[in-house]
Structure 1
Amino acid sequence: MEKYISNIENPKVSIAPMVDKTHRHFRYFSRIMDKDMLLYTEMITAQAIIYGDLEKVLFFREEEGKVALQIAASNPEDAFKAVKLAENFNYSEINLNCGCPSDRVSGNLMGAALMSSKELVYEILCAMKEATNKPVTIKHRIGIDGTGIITDKKSKVIMEGYEDLLDFLGTISKAKPDRYTIHARTAILKGLSPKENRDIPPLDYNMVYRLKKEFDYLNIEINGGFKTLEQIKEGLKHVDAVMIGRAAYEDAYLLANLYKLDSNSENISPLSRGEIIRKYIPYVEEELENGSNVHSLVFPLQSLFHGQRGNGQYKQLLSSSAIKKETVLDTLNKIFEIMPEDVLWK
Structure 2
Amino acid sequence: MKAENTSKTSASRAYRLSIAPMMDWTDRHCRFFHRLISQHALLYTEMVTAPALVRGGAVHLLDYNPEEHPVALQLGGSDPGELAKAARLGAQAGYDEINLNCGCPSDRVQSGTFGAVLMKSPQLVVDCVRAMQDATQTEITVKCRIGVDDQNPDEVLPEFLSMLGANNCNRIQIHARKAWLQGLSPKENRDIPPLEYDLIQRMRGLFPNLHLSVNGGIETLDQACDWLDRGLDGVMIGRGAYHRPWDILGAADERVFGTAPSGKTAESVALEMLPYIERHLTLGGKLHQVTRHMLGLFAGRPGARNWRRVLSEGASRAGAGPELVEEALLEIEQGRAA
TM-score normalised by L of structure 2: 0.91
In 2, Cα distance between equivalents of 1:260 and 1:343: 25
Structure 2 counterpart of 1:292, one-letter code:
G
Provide the residue aligned with 1:304 in structure 2: 297
Provide the residue aligned with 2:45 in structure 1: 41
1:180 aligns with 2:184: no
Partner of residue 251 from structure 1, selected from 241, 244, 269? 244
Query: Per-residue CA shift, 1:11-50, capped at 9, x if unaligned?
Result: 2100000000000000000000001000000001001111
Tell me the CA shift for residue 208 of structure 1: 0.8
1:224 aligns with 2:220: no
For residues 131-280 of structure 1, what are the structure 2 equivalents within 5 Å?
A: 131-145=135-149, 158-236=150-228, 237-254=230-247, 255-262=249-256, 268=261, 270-280=263-273
Tell me the CA shift for residue 179 of structure 1: 0.4
DSSP 3-state at the match of 1:10? helix
Tell me the CA shift for residue 299 of structure 1: 1.3
Structure 2 counterpart of 1:314, one-letter code:
W
Q: 1:176 to 1:58 in 2, by over 3 A?
A: same
1:316 aligns with 2:320: no
Provide the residue aligned with 2:13 in structure 1: 10
Identity %: 38
> Where does structure 2 lack aligned partners over 5 or more consecutive residues?
1-7
Kept in 2: contact 1:249–1:303 (CA 8 A): yes
In 1, Cα distance between equivalents of 2:264 and 2:163: 45
In 1, Cα distance between equivalents of 2:212 and 2:263: 28
Tell me the CA shift for residue 321 of structure 1: 5.7
DSSP 3-state at the match of 1:268? coil
Tell me the CA shift for residue 80 of structure 1: 0.9
1:329 aligns with 2:332: no
1:114 aligns with 2:106: no
DSSP 3-state at the match of 1:43? strand
Kept in 2: contact 1:257–1:270 (CA 8 A): no
In 2, Cα distance between equivalents of 1:322 and 1:292: 12
Query: Per-residue CA shift, 1:284-335, capped at 9, x if unaligned?
Result: 0001111223222111211011111011211110115653251232211212
DSSP 3-state at the match of 2:73? strand
Aligned length in residues: 326
Provide the residue aligned with 1:23 in structure 2: 27
Structure 1 counterpart of 2:233, one-letter code:
D
Q: 1:219 to 1:294 in 2, by over 3 A?
A: same
In 2, Cα distance between equivalents of 1:39 and 1:343: 31
Structure 2 counterpart of 1:68, one-letter code:
A
Q: 1:77 to 1:320 in 2, by over 3 A?
A: farther
- Quick check: which one's helix share is greater? 2
In 1, Cα distance between equivalents of 2:170 and 2:209: 11
In 1, Cα distance between equivalents of 2:223 and 2:289: 29
Structure 2 counterpart of 1:163, one-letter code:
E
Q: 1:343 to 1:213 in 2, by over 3 A?
A: farther
Structure 1 counterpart of 2:66, one-letter code:
E
DSSP 3-state at the match of 1:180? strand
Provide the residue aligned with 1:67 in structure 2: 71
Structure 1 counterpart of 2:51, one-letter code:
Q
TM-score normalised by L of structure 1: 0.89
Provide the residue aligned with 1:294 in structure 2: 287
Query: Does 38-47 or 206-215 show the bigger shift?
Result: 206-215
DSSP 3-state at the match of 2:21? coil
> Where does structure 1 lack aligned partners over 5 or more consecutive residues?
1-5, 146-157
In 1, Cα distance between equivalents of 2:253 and 2:45: 22
